[in-house]
A and B are shown apart, each in its own frame.
Chain A
Amino acid sequence: MKSQTRRGFLKCFGLAGTVLAVGRAGFASEGAINDNGVGLLYDATRCVGCKACVAACKRANDLPPEKGSFDPEGIWDAPADLDGKTRNIVKLYRESESVWSYVKVQCMHCMKPSCVSVCPVSAMQQDADGRVFYDKTRCIGCRMCMVACPFIVPRFQWEKPLPQIVKCDLCKFSEVPRKGKPACAGVCPTEAVQYGRRRQLLAEAKRRTETNPGRYRSYVYGEHEVGGTNVLYLASAAVPFDKLGLPNLPNEAPAAFSEKIQHRIYKGFMAPLALYATLFFVATLNRKKLSKGGEKEEER
């Protein structure tokens, strides 16, 4: 290594990076959307707001409690939203005495997840069952996933010296290996949260909306949003989805669009090669000009 020059080292490093980048791009591109993943079906009309899922999620995934702003003594676990200590939360939309709804908030497990697409180090990943999960050993803390998520799900442990991203992984590493289903679905007393294959959940959701048009809004949120999500929502006929914090989103996955452009540009390392070629051209041109100028100078 002693004989290694700085120039040599950087060259070697660059080459290795190039090879890796080409390999990755080739691997990740044009992945067909997997519509047979596992997911959740949350039925807001069945939810009784008992928060058993919130408590069970914390227990199963060993998450610390979060103090509420109204609770200076810290006697409850009262997060106001998803945060660095909370993967799952039940919120309330209340318009009047008769028009109201609970809503359970957790990762939607998009079928084409933006967070996975933007992550520069593949710390966010999607497994074969469509679950989007986080690998803390790879994360560099850039928080691009937080910017990319249309549902504002990934949260950061701001208070920790070595922070991680916190988000639902459908209990991939905790409750599913032990009990076969995520903690929230396992504990729900009214089956407002159900776990299963997305196709079956979607069929069940449609069955409910069709057989009970007065009770349900005739739309399954998550069927098409941003390319479809593995977590599906049913809501009461009286409550629009955006009031539950589920935004109106286009049906195309932004990640699919941006990846199409990016993967095309970088196919076969095209863009960098073109850039380097241009730079090389400009440099040679300037070199020629400079040497001519030099000659003139000498002449004088």
Chain B
Amino acid sequence: MTRPFFSGVSRRDFLKTCMTATALMGLPLEAVRRVAEAAQSPGRPPVIWLHFQECTGCSESLLRSSHPTLASLILDLVSLDYQETLMAGSGEQAEKALEDSIKENRGKYILVVEGAIPTQNEGVYCKVGGKTALESLSRAAPGAAAIVSIGTCASYGGIQAADPNPTGAVGVSNVVNQKPIINIPGCPPSPYNFLSTILYIQTFKKMPVLDQLGRPMFAYGRRIHEHCERRPHFDAGRFAEKFGDDGHRQGFCLYKIGCKGPATFANCSVQRFNDTGTWPVSVGHPCIGCTEPDVVFKTSIFDKVQIHSLTPPDTYPAAVVEEKGKGADPLTTGVVGLVAGAALGAGAMLVKRLPKEVGDEKSD
């Protein structure tokens, strides 16, 4: 073997991670072998990783995960030619590495973009090595085999693009066209979604199936709400009404304190985070809808979201509708009849007493 297992990763951990990634792609168990082979293949795809308007949270969530396997897998899986957070070199030297990689691996490298691209005033709001984000991206994009936008900022503009968006920040797909773009939104996205996407391309040499927002269907095909552990509370109408109240302490549904789960497509409620099975909702914070361009940074975290695909609650209407009250009793009927009769009689008498013809009266 040219390379043993990844440095610092046991065979067991390696296979476990491959297994998780394969399951996440929705592939059968037999596919694990192919994925593991692809992960060990010596021909590592070159990756250029550009950072623009961002907080480096996406990189951080990848690197600082409690378990080292994931980060080492990703970093060993690819030949990371340029990554501002991780590379040893700096200044001219680093920029040269970028130029060289773009030239050398033309048409082969995967371009990973982290962060939004400012477009206002020719994009002066974000410069790396004296070049604006727009310039860097338009330099690197044409030679890329595929572009992966990691994080909500690179996918849709993210927090920079929130109203009033002073820098005119946009996502990669607004700047680059005619290139396959895979969006891995999230703030930060699950590192497994990124790993699975890279492994998918490695193993099958093609793009995963994407939804209309450019997200891989295997990770973003369903709403968080559909697999949420608090869902039974939603169906039963047991809600936390405000933070810290009795319902909140009891672990009731967070919808009424702003959970965006019913409108958010992502696999957080299945894959969880930090290799420990936690995620925001499990610790009592409502989902903020960070994978949805129309939800996060567009609506308040604590506003209730409109639910579009409504489902039945776990209450039931009665099989036989009870009759609405009892009918009028005889006494009431009699009294009402008498009054009505008297009124009718009085009316008739009144008519009799009226002058015979109106015309007569006038002529008098």
- Smallest CB-CB separation from A70: which chain B residue? B315
Contact with A along B300-320 (1 / 0, CB 8 A): 000010010011111111111
Q: Would you call A77 and B318 a contact (CB within 8 A)?
A: no
Interface hits, A48-67 → B, CB 8 Å: 49, 51, 54-55, 65
Report chain B residues within 8 Å CB of A81: 317, 321
Which of A88-96, A131-139, A211-219, A287-295 is the contact stretch?
A88-96
Min distance, Cβ A249 to any Cβ of chain B, angstroms: 15
B311 near A79 (CB under 8 angstroms)? no
Number of interface residues of B (CB under 8 A): 17
Chain A interface size, under 10 / 10 to 19 / 20 to 34 / 35 or more = 20 to 34
Q: In the bound complex, what is the Cα–Cα distance between A89 and B311 (angstroms)? A: 12
User: Are B319 and A93 in contact, CB atoms less than 8 angstroms apart?
Assistant: yes
Q: Does B255 make an interface contact (CB < 8 A)?
A: yes
Residue of A nearest to B307 (CB): A75
Q: Are A76 and B310 in contact (CB under 8 A)?
A: yes
How close is B58's CB to chain A, nearest CB, in angstroms?
Answer: 33
A255 nearest CB across to chain B (Å): 25
Within 8 A of B (CB), among A3-59: 49, 51, 54-55
- Within 8 Å by CB of B318, from A65, A91, A242, lies A91
Judged by a CB distance under 8 angstroms, whether A180 is at the interface is no
Q: Which residues of A contact B316 (CB under 8 A)?
A: 49, 90-92, 102
Q: Decide: A92 near B317, CB < 8 A? Known: A73-B304, A75-B255.
A: yes
B313 contacts A68, C-beta separation under 8 Å: yes
B319–A76 touching, CB < 8 Å: no
**A74: min CB distance to chain B, Å:** 7
B320–A51 contact, CB under 8 A?
no
Judge whether A76 and B317 touch: CB under 8 Å. no
A123 CB within 8 Å of chain B: no
Closest to A68 in B: B313
Contact A243 B320 (CB under 8 A): yes
- Chain A residue numbers with a CB within 8 Å of B315 are 70, 78
| Shortest CB distance B319–A (Å) | 4
Query: How many CB-defined contacts (below 8 Å) exist between A and B?
Result: 57
**Interface of chain A, main secondary structure:** loop
Among the interface residues A68, A74, A75, A93, which one has the most CB atoms of the partner chain B within 10 A?
A75
Contact B318 A78 (CB under 8 A): no
Among B237, B313, B314, B317, max chain A CB count under 10 A is at B317
Q: How many Å lie between the Cα of A73 and that of B234 in the bound state?
A: 13
A118 contacts B by Cβ under 8 Å: no
Q: Give Cα A19 to B234, complex, Å.
A: 60
Q: Is the CB of A103 within 8 A of B317?
A: no
Q: Which residue from chain A places its CB closest to the CB of B320 in the assembled complex?
A: A245
Q: Looking across the interface, which residue of chain A has its beta carbon closest to that of B239?
A: A75
- Which of A74, A77, A89 has the most chain B CB atoms closer than 10 A to its own CB? A77
B319 touches A75 (CB 8 A): no
Pair A76/B318 contact, Cβ less than 8 Å: no
Asked if A80 contacts B313 (CB within 8 A), the reply is: no
- Contacts A73-B304, A75-B307: A92 and B318 contacting too (C-beta < 8 A)? yes
Query: Nearest residue in A to B313 (C-beta to C-beta)?
Result: A76
Q: Nearest residue in B to A75 (C-beta to C-beta)? A: B307
Question: Is A231 interfacial (CB-CB < 8 Å)?
Answer: no
Contact B313 A71 (CB under 8 A): yes
In the bound complex, residues from chain A placing their C-beta under 8 Å from that of B320 are 93, 242-245
In whole Å, how far is B279's beta carbon from the nearest beta carbon of chain A? 22
Contact B318 A74 (CB under 8 A): no
Find chain B residues with CB under 8 A from A79 CB.
317
Which of B307, B311, B312, B313 has the most CB atoms of chain A within a 10 A radius of its CB?
A: B312
10 closest A-B pairs (Cβ-Cβ)?
A92-B316, A65-B310, A93-B319, A77-B310, A76-B313, A51-B312, A91-B319, A80-B317, A245-B319, A245-B320
Interface residues of B (CB under 8 A from A): 234, 237, 255, 304, 307, 310-321
Chain A residues within CB distance 8 Å of chain B: 49, 51, 54-55, 65, 68, 70-71, 73-81, 89-93, 101-103, 242-245
Can you give 14 contacting A-B residue pairs, CB < 8 Å? A51-B312, A55-B311, A75-B234, A76-B310, A78-B312, A78-B315, A79-B317, A80-B317, A90-B312, A91-B319, A93-B319, A244-B319, A244-B320, A245-B319
Additional A-B contacts beyond A75-B234, A91-B318, A92-B316 (7; CB < 8 A): A55-B311, A73-B304, A76-B312, A76-B313, A92-B318, A93-B318, A103-B319
